[in-house]
Amino acid sequence: MRLRGRKGIRESLESQPELVVLDGTQYKGRWNEFFGNDRPIYVELGMGKGQFISTMSYRNPDINYIGVDMYDELIRRGSEKARRIWAEKGVDSPPNLALLRANIEGIEEIFAEDELERIYLNFSDPWPKAKHARRRLTHPRFVAKYMEALNDRGEIHFKTDSQSLFEYSLNSFAEMELLTRNISLNLHKDELRDDLVPTEYEMKFYERGQNIHRIEVLIGEQAIAAWRSEKRSAAAAEAAREAQRSDDDADDESEDGEA
Ligand SMILES: C[S@@+](CC[C@H](N)C(=O)[O-])C[C@H]1O[C@@H](n2cnc3c(N)ncnc32)[C@H](O)[C@@H]1O
Which helix (H) or strand (E) covers residue 153, if one does? strand 150-160
Distance from Cα 125 to the centre of ligand 1, integer Å: 7
Residue 122: which of 189, 33, 53, 188 has the closest Cα?
53
| pLDDT for the residue 6 | 82
Atom of ligand 1 at shortest range from CA of 102: 21
**pLDDT on residue 194:** 83
Q: Output the residue whose Cα is nearest ligand 1's atom 15.
A: 46
Give the closest residue (by CA) to ligand 1 atom 16.
46
The Cα–Cα gap between 125 and 90 comes to 35
- Residue 7: per-residue pLDDT: 84
How far is it, in rounded angstroms, from Cα 5 to Cα 96? 29
CA-CA-CA-CA dihedral for 221, 107, 76, 98, to nearest 10: 40
Split the chain (259 residues) into runs of 10 and give each run's mean pLDDT. 73 97 98 98 98 98 98 97 96 96 98 98 98 98 98 98 98 98 94 91 95 98 96 96 91 77
**pLDDT computed for residue 1 by the predictor:** 42
* SS3 category, 217: strand
Catalytic residues: 125
Spell out the domains of the chain, with CATH numbers in brackets: 5-258 (3.40.50.150)
Three-state secondary structure call for residue 97: strand
Ligand 1 pocket, mutate which of 123, 145, 162, 187 (most atoms under 8 A from CB): 123
Ligand 1 pocket residue status of 108, Cβ below 6 Å: no
| pLDDT at residue 152 in the model | 98
Q: Is the CB of 55 under 6 A from ligand 1?
A: no
Q: Which pLDDT score is estimated for 3? A: 45
Strand order in the sheet with 179-184: 20-21, 97-101, 64-69, 41-45, 116-122, 150-160, 213-218, 179-184
Burial call 167-206: b when 16+ CB within 10 Å, e when fewer: ebbbebbeeeeeeeeeebeebbeeeebeebbbbebbeebb
